[in-house]
Amino acid sequence: MLTKPVQEAINHQIKSELHSAYVYLAMTAYCEAMNLRGFAHWMRMQSREELSHAMKLFAYVNDRGGRITLQAIDAPPFDFNSPLEMMEEVLQHERKVTGMINALYEVALKENDYATQVHLQWFLTEQVEEEKNASEIVERLKMIGAQTAGLLLLDRELGARSKAE
């Protein structure tokens, strides 16, 4: 059974993961409007991945006999000045999520909830990958600068993403 602090913290993280899915879906719409289909595809896959993270936590709460309490999700940003600005927002967002996962882990530590600590190991590892991927794209966009050809090549590459990584 989950303690009340752990259950509340996980419910908050479920909300955050659903918000992340919403953020990436809004970015998908922005990319589609900019005719950057590869970026849109990458963002759509991110949205699905974030939804799967929420559902992984959702199932965990149920498996531990806890109670899910869904919370309201704020509207995400939906307009950006450039693909670089959008990807910098992605990186900032992923860093924020890393902080939230770390805080959730701290709650599990404080509550001596070893099963939750083990479950959260996957999320901690996942956040390292999320930040790395976003950072690499930001750096590549900085290298590209105003070169349209470079942007189109990166767009094609991002469109080749085959699954939620």
Residue 149 belongs to some domain of the structure: yes
Tally of domains in the chain: 1
Q: What is the chain's mean pLDDT, rounded?
A: 96
Domain CATH for 46: 1.20.1260.10
Burial (CB count within 10 angstroms: exposed 0-12, middle 13-18, buried 19+), residue 121: exposed
Residue 165 belongs to some domain of the structure: no
Confidence of residue 165 (pLDDT cuts 50, 70, 90): very low
Residue by residue, what is the 3-state secondary structure of 54-120?
A: HHHHHHHHHHCCCCCCCCCCCCCCCCCCCHHHHHHHHHHHHHHHHHHHHHHHHHHHHCCCHHHHHHH
Residue-range definition of the domain harbouring residue 14: 4-159
Residue 46 belongs to some domain of the structure: yes
**pLDDT tens digits, one per residue of 92-108:** 999 999 999 999 999 99
Confidence of residue 161 (pLDDT cuts 50, 70, 90): confident
pTM: 0.93
| pLDDT at site 162 | 76
* Half-sphere CA count of 14, side-chain side, radius 13 A: 20
**pLDDT tens digits, one per residue of 46-83:** 999 999 999 999 999 999 999 999 999 999 999 999 99
Residue 164 belongs to some domain of the structure: no
